[in-house]
């Protein structure tokens, strides 16, 4: 099977609506996939209806942003119940925090001579679930930068002049709410953050898996994280981190890379043992 457990829609910072995303998944020959929008489950219902009609299996998922000390990490959640009350409350708080962060970044940009109305950025975000990629695209549209990657490199990336840290959500909080929602927590693209020293703390907080396969992981990196997973007794996840065509160095199509069948089988078995709802 072709299995991709890391995909985004317009419910966070992806470029495709859920139905269009499922069509792209199907066209790429992917049979099992997970919509893992940032701090949002808004796309799940539409994606599931479309996936069911297409004969595809959808694993309910999410990607939460959290802090380990001063370092921002991303935690993926799989087989979650999107209607879970604790999860819904958590997401409401993070949505409000995203809006406050946007206003602070816009203020910094304006001080540098780049005025971008908040409404222009919020219009790109479904239900107010706004993030830095939405702001980066607005900067491109207004001619302040040539590409979204340039926006991050010059202004929006960590330690750049318009960067504003997220209001702190600890990795323990993120992992905890995923578990409350009946899911398994996985550390997203660890090679991007390069903070392997955080892994023991994450395991202590309830981390179940680590993302081995990702477009930004070289073959050597993937081998390294598979070895770490095996040594630490962690499950293995992976996917394309697909956001839509033209999104810089992310995968251009779903399914690159894929998660091997055997790793998915182990992940699914662990979810079943936890009583999760399986696709």
The predicted-structure confidence for 98-125, as pLDDT tens digits, reads as follows 888 899 999 999 999 999 999 889 888 7
Is 27's pLDDT higher than 90?
yes
- Say how far apart CA 267 and CA 269 lie, in whole Å: 5
pLDDT attached to residue 125? 78
HSE value, Cβ hemisphere, 13 Å, CA-based, for 20: 13
For residue 57, how many other CB atoms are within 10 A of its CB? Answer: 18
Domains within the chain, CATH numbers bracketed:
3-87+170-273 (3.20.20.140), 91-156 (1.10.150.650)
pLDDT attached to residue 279? 86
Three-state secondary structure string covering 83-94: CCHHHHHHHHHH
Pull the structure tokens for residue 203: 């395991």
In sequence order, the 6+-apart residues with CB closer than 8 A to the CB of 250 are: 215, 240, 241, 242, 243
pLDDT band at 183 (very low <50, low <70, confident <90, very high): very high
pLDDT attached to residue 250? 61
Closest CA to 193 of 25, 48, 68, 22: 68
The pLDDT tens digits for 130-151 are: 888 889 999 999 999 999 889 9
- Say how far apart CA 49 and CA 17 lie, in whole Å: 13
pLDDT attached to residue 13? 86
Closest CA to 197 of 77, 73, 78: 73
Is 249's pLDDT higher than 80?
no
Q: What is the mean pLDDT of the chain?
A: 93
Q: Does residue 257 have a cis bond before it (omega within 30 degrees)?
A: yes
pLDDT band at 158 (very low <50, low <70, confident <90, very high): confident
143-152, 157-166, 205-214, range with greatest mean pLDDT: 205-214
């Amino acid at each position: 099977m072709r299995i991709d457990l890391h995909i985004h829609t317009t419910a966070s910072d992806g470029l495709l609506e859920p139905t269009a995303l499922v069509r792209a998944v199907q066209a790429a020959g992917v049979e099992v996939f997970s919509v893992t929008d940032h701090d949002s489950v808004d796309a799940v219902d539409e994606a599931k209806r479309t996936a069911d009609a297409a004969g595809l299996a959808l694993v309910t998922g999410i990607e939460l942003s959290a802090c380990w000390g001063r370092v921002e990490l991303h935690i993926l959640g799989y087989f979650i119940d999107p209607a879970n009350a604790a999860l819904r409350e958590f997401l409401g708080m993070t949505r409000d925090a995203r809006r406050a962060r946007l206003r602070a970044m816009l203020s910094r940009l304006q001080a540098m001579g780049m005025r971008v109305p908040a409404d222009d950025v919020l219009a790109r975000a479904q239900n107010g679930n706004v993030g830095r990629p939405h702001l980066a695209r607005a900067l491109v549209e207004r001619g302040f930068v040539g590409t979204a990657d340039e926006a991050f490199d010059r202004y929006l990336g960590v330690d750049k002049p318009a960067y504003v840290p997220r209001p702190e959500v600890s990795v323990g909080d993120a992992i905890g709410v995923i578990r409350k929602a009946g899911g398994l927590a996985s550390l997203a693209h660890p090679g991007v953050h390069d903070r392997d020293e955080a892994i023991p703390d994450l395991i202590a907080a309830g981390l179940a898996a680590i993302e081995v396969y990702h477009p930004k992981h070289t073959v050597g990196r993937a081998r390294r994280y598979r070895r770490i997973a095996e040594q630490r007794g962690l499950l293995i996840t992976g996917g394309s981190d697909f956001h839509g065509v033209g999104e810089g160095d992310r995968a251009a199509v779903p399914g690159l890379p894929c998660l091997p069948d055997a790793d998915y089988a182990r992940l699914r078995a662990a979810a079943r043992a936890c009583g999760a709802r399986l696709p």
